[in-house]
């Protein structure tokens, strides 16, 4: 079955309730009603101060191939309701089979540093189509954004050291492994052990050998000599199978043999024990033997906190092999992104703004056709202002903190800015000049360099200013009061003069 999993239409990569709602829109004559949905998250992962947007490349691939094939329709036709009768009538299935994804999609580029409540994607089009996209878009964005953020945090600690992703064997299935390798590379790792990811995404692949290789031979030295004999241009030796420091000495013996053949001992790997102590002692042995350029690779359930601790202890580690805690986002398994309706209208009519209320302020959605404007000065990024593209047309702006209306900031028209959401699909047609994976990787580091160091702290990070443009804040407040007063508000607002 696994060989068939991805050799098929992905039209049914959704939750059933998306299809039942689509059927309800179609039956009620509402399928063509125009809507706007925003995809965003409410809280930074890992208790951090920033998040890295990732997954747009996969979204583009999914949207470009969107559709239901005959086997999808036959399967949907076999579904029944609680009365045993067909869940969907044949005419609806025929309609699904002829669907064209006539939507506009705007998105922040992969590798962009983003913050809670900012739309990462804005989807506009017939409400039924927008609804069908909810689950797959969240699936493609949430996990990759989570992993890219984790990798970026590790890159902050590693600085100029090499980061390698070793997590395929611990990933949540083949897709978890593949998407994690892609997102981790964008987030900041230099290479992966995942050969298929190397082939499909162009990520550099690296690797050493396992303990089983050493255990196969009568002695560790024989194992090292044999490996070096046949792979002299990739000799990274795992030295902790029996006695780590003796393993380093055996590696040095093999390194001398390699030098006689004109090759270098590329590295040794430590996979257990006191990595700080062992790396320091191994470095001494290597340097004294004339192997100052031989790298020390460390692995063993590393994450950014352990890496930081090892750095503080003076560990002599050049290459970090990160596995389980990166590809599984070990300390936070999900991002928690959401996809909320923000406006609806009859074709070419006025927008009716929509809001989702909650007893928790963080779960109250923001209405409108949103864009995010990032302001900067000569020192770097200053603040992000979320605005409605119909209500704010530019010029001087006032930004209000949605959780404390007494906090506001004004921005002069002359201040430099960038609007983060860029057009990707127009009427279902791809119009976006998609960056390479290397460009997205560079964007992460370019972005992070322009933010205050405080947001990059792991403990009590600084909160970067994000707020609503005053008119959008007023619209949201008006809708909240109207709803609290006991009625479903019309949500219609006047156009700005």
Determine the structural domain holding residue 8 and report its residue range: 1-27+67-100
Residue 9 covered by a domain: yes
Residue 128 covered by a domain: no
CA distances for 264 relative to 226, 232, 255, 280, angstroms: 15, 8, 7, 21
3-state secondary structure of 318: coil
Name every residue whose Cβ is closer than 8 Å to that of residue 105 and which is 6 or more positions away in sequence.
Answer: 59, 63, 121, 122, 123, 124, 423, 424, 425
pTM of the model: 0.95
Residue 80 covered by a domain: yes
**How far is it, in rounded angstroms, from Cα 371 to Cα 374?**
10
Q: Structure tokens of 324? A: 């389980």
Classify residue 86 by its DSSP letter. B
Residue 11 covered by a domain: yes
Count of CB atoms situated within 10 Å of the CB of 246: 13
Contact between 372 and 419 under an 8 Å Cβ cutoff? The reply is: yes
Per-residue pLDDT of the chain (497 residues; tens, 9 = 90+): 556 657 788 999 999 999 999 999 999 999 989 999 999 999 999 999 999 999 999 999 999 999 999 999 999 999 999 999 999 999 999 999 999 999 999 999 999 999 999 999 999 999 999 999 999 999 999 999 999 999 999 999 999 999 999 999 999 999 999 999 999 999 999 999 999 999 999 999 999 999 999 999 999 999 999 999 999 999 999 999 999 999 999 999 999 999 999 999 999 999 999 999 999 999 999 999 999 999 999 999 999 999 999 999 999 999 999 999 999 999 999 999 999 999 999 987 899 999 998 888 888 999 999 999 999 999 999 999 999 999 998 899 999 998 888 889 999 988 999 999 999 999 999 999 999 999 999 999 999 999 999 999 999 999 999 999 999 999 999 999 988 876 655 556 544 43
Residue 18 covered by a domain: yes
User: Which residue has 């998306």 as its token pair?
Assistant: 18
Question: What domain count does the chain have?
Answer: 1
Residue 95 covered by a domain: yes
Q: Which of 209, 177, 213 is nearest to 196 (CA)?
A: 177
CA distances for 196 relative to 181, 187, 193, 323, 336, angstroms: 10, 19, 9, 16, 28
**How far is it, in rounded angstroms, from Cα 317 to Cα 340?**
45
Q: Which of 66, 69, 330, 57 is nearest to 178 (CA)?
A: 57
Residue 20 covered by a domain: yes
**How far is it, in rounded angstroms, from Cα 3 to Cα 449?**
42
Residue-level pLDDT at 289: 98
Name every residue whose Cβ is closer than 8 Å to that of residue 494 and which is 6 or more positions away in sequence.
Answer: none
Residue 75 covered by a domain: yes
Residue-level pLDDT at 273: 96
């Amino acid at each position: 079955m696994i060989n068939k999993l991805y050799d098929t239409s992905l039209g049914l990569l959704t939750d059933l309730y998306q299809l039942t709602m689509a059927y309800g829109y179609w039956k009620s004559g509402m399928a063509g009603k125009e809507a706007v949905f925003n995809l965003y998250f409410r809280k930074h992962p890992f208790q951090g101060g920033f998040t890295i947007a990732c997954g747009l490349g996969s979204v583009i691939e999914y949207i470009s191939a969107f559709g239901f094939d005959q086997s999808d329709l036959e399967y949907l036709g076999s579904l029944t309701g609680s009365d045993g009768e067909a869940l969907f009538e044949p005419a609806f299935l025929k309609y699904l089979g002829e669907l064209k994804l006539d939507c506009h999609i705007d998105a922040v580029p992969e590798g962009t540093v983003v913050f809670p409540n900012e739309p990462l994607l804005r989807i506009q089009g017939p409400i039924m189509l927008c609804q069908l996209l909810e689950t797959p878009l969240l699936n493609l964005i949430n996990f990759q954004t989570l992993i890219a953020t984790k990798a970026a945090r590790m890159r902050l600690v590693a600085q100029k050291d090499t980061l390698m992703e070793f997590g395929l064997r611990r990933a949540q299935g083949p897709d978890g492994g593949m998407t994690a390798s892609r997102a981790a590379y964008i987030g900041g790792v230099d290479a992966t052990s995942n050969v298929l990811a190397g082939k499909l995404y162009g990520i550099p692949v690296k690797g050493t050998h396992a303990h089983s290789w050493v255990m196969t031979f009568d002695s560790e030295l024989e194992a090292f000599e044999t490996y070096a004999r046949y792979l002299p241009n990739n000799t990274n030796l795992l030295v902790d199978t029996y006695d780590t420091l003796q393993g380093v000495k055996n590696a040095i013996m093999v390194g001398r043999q390699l030098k006689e053949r004109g090759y270098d001992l590329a590295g040794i790997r430590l996979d257990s024990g006191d990595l700080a102590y062992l790396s320091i002692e191994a470095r001494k042995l290597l340097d004294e033997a004339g192997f100052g350029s031989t790298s020390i690779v460390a692995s063993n359930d590393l994450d950014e906190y352990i890496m930081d601790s090892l750095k503080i202890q003076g560990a002599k580690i050049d290459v970090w092999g990160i596995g389980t805690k990166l590809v599984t986002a070990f300390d936070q398994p999900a991002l928690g992104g959401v996809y909320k309706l923000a406006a609806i209208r009859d074709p070419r009519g006025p927008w009716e703004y929509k809001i989702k209320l909650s007893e928790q302020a963080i779960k109250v959605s923001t209405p409108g056709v949103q864009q995010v404007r990032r302001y900067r000065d000569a020192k770097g990024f200053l603040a992000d202002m979320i605005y409605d593209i119909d209500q704010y047309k530019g010029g001087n702006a006032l930004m209000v903190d949605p959780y404390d209306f007494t906090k506001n900031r004004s921005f002069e028209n002359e201040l430099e800015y960038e609007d983060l959401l860029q057009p990707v699909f127009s009427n279902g047609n791809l119009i976006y000049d998609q960056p390479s994976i290397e460009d997205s990787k560079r964007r992460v580091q370019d972005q992070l360099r322009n933010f205050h160091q405080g947001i990059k702290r792991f403990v009590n990070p600084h909160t970067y200013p994000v707020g609503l443009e005053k008119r959008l804040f007023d619209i949201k407040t008006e809708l909240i009061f109207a709803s609290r007063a006991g009625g479903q508000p019309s949500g219609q607002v006047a156009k700005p003069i």
